[in-house]
Structure 1
Amino acid sequence: MRTASTSSTVRALMASTRSSCVRFVAVLPRQIINASLIGYDIYLYGGQVTWKNEHREELLFVSSKAIFKPPKAIRGGITICFPQFGSGALDRHGFARNRFWSIDNDPPPFPTNTTNKAFIDLILKQSEEDAKIWPHRYEFRLRITLGPGGDLMLTSRIRNTNTDGKSFTFTFAYHTHLYVTDISEVRVEGLETLDYLDNLKDRERFTEQGDAITFESEVDKIYLSTPTKIAILDHERKRTFVLRKDGLPDAVVWNPWDKKAKAMPDFGDDDYMHMLCVEAACVEKPITLKPGEEWKGRQELSVVPSSYCSGQLDPRRALSV
């Protein structure tokens, strides 16, 4: 899939492919990709993704009070956290989520099998604004792929293009907001018995106890050395999200619960009941790239019926390549 167009700030951008178009929603251009009745929307602001099933139901949560206007990041979908996850020298979660990405019309070959799949390539490069706060040249290429069965894959490739011989270091996450029917009826499998850093306790290290993770209060944890597959079971909707990942050893689990939900201006008071963030990430051990080096990290999301049990899906199954 290739799309190309330019426009004024008010004119819509129209793509040249049958399965997608770009248009402005409020003040933000949006790329719409459909495969049959399944599809996703991409906001060029932040490289943000939303995802729907064949019934046009949202699979990714977007806050009822999300602000679709720069410089605020969109609260929901899949947010790209780069070059920093969480708090640090930069603004929280870095700047990639607050930048306008471009459609990449001539990307280098991706080692991704795109047969019978809809996909689009985006690119983000250093701007003058970025250079003032993070003085490194980079190319961030993002391929967003929709499989014929509705699976959603994001593949990120980040290259150091510094010409001064300097390396750079970053942390990263796919900040994935899943839509759930009732957070109290959700459990997460695949992270039990693992060590985690608790952001609510100054990143103190603990070991997870119990057979599965359930929710009855605020949670903000970074699980370490996680498996390639994590399952999120929504009992009330009778469906399971399966998250598979590659190149991303950590997994973040977050829900703000009621008090913090009410304190966030772009988050509805009751939104916490219908969302859960489970994020493929690289946080504990930052990635360092020398000039010319490239890092790659992938995340794939699929939905299966609630008849799922832990043994049915092979956690060793590789991502589609």
Structure 2
Amino acid sequence: MSAAIQQPQVERLEIDQLTCWRVRTAEAELLVAQQGAQILSYQRDGEQPLIWLSPQAAYQRGQGVRGGVPICWPWFGDLRRNPQAVQALYQGGSLVPSHGLVRDRDWQLLGIDSQDAGVSLSFGFNSLEQPLPGWPHAAELTFTIRLDRRLHIELNSRNLGATPLAISQALHSYFAVGDIRKARVEGLHGCRYIETLEDWQPRQQGGALGFARETDRIYLNTPAQLSIHDPAWRRRIQLHSSGSASAVLWNPWIDKARRLSQFAEDAWQGMLCVEHANVLDDICVLAAGGEQQQIGLSLWSEALAD
């Protein structure tokens, strides 16, 4: 292969209403939307996708795209389920969007750094330059995506204001699996979790997590290394996180899948969300005057041994 072909390539394109960036290396392809700085898809050549994107995804301004890696910030999930310190910073009305305020906002492309071994893209969002409705606080976000033989992502939050800033957050990653009924998540043994589908009862995980029904759990004090065992596609997806103390595991299963937007009725069979997060007691409180915090994830796949 020629050196020219091996050089990473970054192409800007318009998909319906959204500006996107397609990144090609000698071994993989990545698609990112400027709205929300949202990774949409990631696939290595000759392999099944690692990041799942709904075939029914809508590329519309002002609404999230189903799949990929949405960024949830400055809160995760239902604001009313967040600690009071996070709730108190929101001064909007009764219609509160789930998963925060930056998913449907255009981020600024800060730069592209192409190297022989890979390529990096950086996106930024500044709430002083783009005020967030109902959230009159000063913060700066930087989201960095680095693609080499693995995919590395990092979200940096910086408090620009004169008072402390309490946030919850998540990298809401959708992973592709061959068959959710055969998949399992390893590395959670012994972790405490909140069973949100049963009155938010506290439980403890025993062994690997398998899937036989709708799943929506918040795992606490999770280890840095988790993995998705995906026997249908004969691989293990390795997940190495930093700066996060929680992980949300979600699959809608049959009934809820019928009620979701941009989601086929049978799409639950081929996806799994493992969302590295700081939620509940693990929220971040950034001191005034520029304190920063980072949450990151590196992911790659390994073939299962025969």
Per the shorter chain, which TM-score range?
0.7 to 0.9
Q: Give 2:247's aligned residue.
A: 251
Answer whether contact 1:37 1:56 (CA < 8 A) is retained: no
Alpha-carbon distance between aligned partners in 1 of 2:261 and 2:32, rounded to the nearest angstrom: 23
Letter in 2 for 1:46: G
Residue 24, structure 1, aligned to residue 21, structure 2: no
| Partner residue of 1:104 out of 99, 110, 116 | 110
Uncovered stretches (5+) of structure 2, i.e. residues with no partner: 1-6, 80-86, 88-95
Residue 51, structure 1, aligned to residue 52, structure 2: no
Q: Give 2:158's aligned residue.
A: 159
> Which moved further from structure 2: 47-56 or 243-252?
47-56
| Partner residue of 1:95 out of 101, 108, 111 | 101
Q: Give 1:64's aligned residue.
A: 55
Q: How many equivalent pairs are there?
A: 281
Structure 1 residue 130 displacement after superposition: 4.0
Query: Cα–Cα, structure 1 residues 100 and 56, in superposed 2: closer, same or farther, change >3 Å?
Result: farther
Q: Give 1:168's aligned residue.
A: 165
Q: Give 2:32's aligned residue.
A: 42
Alpha-carbon distance between aligned partners in 2 of 1:176 and 1:267, rounded to the nearest angstrom: 16
Structure 1 residue 189 displacement after superposition: 0.5
Q: Give 2:68's aligned residue.
A: 77
TM-score after normalising by structure 2 = 0.87
Residue 229, structure 1, aligned to residue 225, structure 2: yes
Q: Give 1:299's aligned residue.
A: 297
Q: Give 1:86's aligned residue.
A: 77
Q: Deviations over 1:188-243 (max 9, x none)?
A: 1000221001221342211112x211101000001111111001011110011000
Alpha-carbon distance between aligned partners in 1 of 2:25 and 2:169, rounded to the nearest angstrom: 29
Answer whether contact 2:13 2:21 (CA < 8 A) is retained: yes
Query: Cα–Cα, structure 1 residues 184 and 122, in superposed 2: closer, same or farther, change >3 Å?
Result: same
Identity %: 27
Superposition pairs of residues 72-221 of structure 1, within 5 angstroms: 72-88=63-79, 90-105=96-111, 116-126=117-127, 130-147=131-148, 149=149, 151-162=150-161, 165-209=162-206, 211-221=207-217
Uncovered stretches (5+) of structure 1, i.e. residues with no partner: 1-16, 108-113, 309-321
Query: Cα–Cα, structure 1 residues 256 and 304, in superposed 2: closer, same or farther, change >3 Å?
Result: same
| Partner residue of 2:23 out of 33, 40, 56 | 33
Letter in 1 for 2:101: F
